[in-house]
Amino acid sequence: MKQWYQELFSNYAEKYEAEIFTQGTLGEVDFIEKEINYDKNCKILDVGCGTGRHAIELTKRGYEVTGVDLSENMLGKARKNASNFQILESAARSLNKKGKLIFTTLNGLFPLFHSVKDFINSNSTSQNKSEENTFDLMTFRDIHQMEIEGDDGTKMNLNCNERYYVPSEITWLLKSIDFNKIDIYGCKLGEFSRNDPLSTEDYEMLVIAEYLEK
């Protein structure tokens, strides 16, 4: 049985690129470059690469990038977008001991600070969610119905289930797999920065984890 996000992205590659949260690519890639000290010998694994927006821009700047995604439809769009820039589909299972992991995830402090009603309202767009939406404080999952139009014009009715995390949980999870330097920041579209402390107003958080010599 397909997960809701697999169903969504099997028919949403074109419209995905028009979403507001995909419009900060250049600034986000600027940040990634700075984090890896502009080292063109650095190999980059883009997990959940989607339509390849980060992978393609990094490749244009001279980096070797491996892009992987669960959705073959999104990868197909990535290949089309890539033109003469090769996006690899194989992936290493883990970073080497000098690697750096950079990712964003949903910030559990946001729904904790705001009332459940305000949280639902702030996360609703154009009647995509029903009045029965719920955020479960015990599981940190937002479970809701979403109706959305796919690339081919068909309506998709999705049973969405999104997991939020708090900084202490993310830190523990990363330490359990031997990362010993973990930094968490606020996450602003196209403006990733180590100068942006995480707050209850950040819908997502930016996580940077490293293996350091002991």
pLDDT tens for each residue of 16-55: 888 888 889 999 999 999 999 999 998 888 888 888 889 9
pTM: 0.75
Output the pLDDT for position 75. 62
Angle 154-160-163 (CA atoms, 0-180°, nearest 5)?
A: 145
Q: Are 142 and 132 in contact (CB under 8 A)?
A: no
pLDDT-derived band at 126, boundaries 50, 70, 90: very low
For 135-152, the pLDDT digits (tens) are 888 888 888 888 999 888
User: Do both 204 and 112 map to the same domain?
Assistant: yes
Residue 8's SS3 state is helix
Higher pLDDT pick, 151 / 114: 151
User: Do both 133 and 158 map to the same domain?
Assistant: yes
Output the pLDDT for position 137. 83
Nearest to 98 by CA among 173, 184, 210, 180: 210
Residue 59's SS3 state is helix
Of 38, 60, 93, at which residue does a domain stop?
93
pLDDT-derived band at 130, boundaries 50, 70, 90: very low
Place of tokens 């996360």: 123
User: Do both 150 and 204 map to the same domain?
Assistant: yes
User: Do both 116 and 200 map to the same domain?
Assistant: yes
For 82-93, the pLDDT digits (tens) are 556 433 233 334
How many domains would you assign to the chain? 2
User: Do both 74 and 122 map to the same domain?
Assistant: no
User: Do both 67 and 122 map to the same domain?
Assistant: no
Helices 25-35, 53-60: inter-axial angle, 10-degree rounding: 60
pLDDT at 162 over 60: yes
User: Do both 210 and 177 map to the same domain?
Assistant: yes
Output the pLDDT for position 188. 93
Average pLDDT over residues 177-194: 91
Output the pLDDT for position 97. 67
List the 100-106 sheet strands across, edge first. Answer: 100-106, 204-210, 181-186
pLDDT at 187 over 90: yes
Range of the domain at 29: 1-93
Output the pLDDT for position 19. 83
User: Do both 43 and 2 map to the same domain?
Assistant: yes
Output the pLDDT for position 203. 93
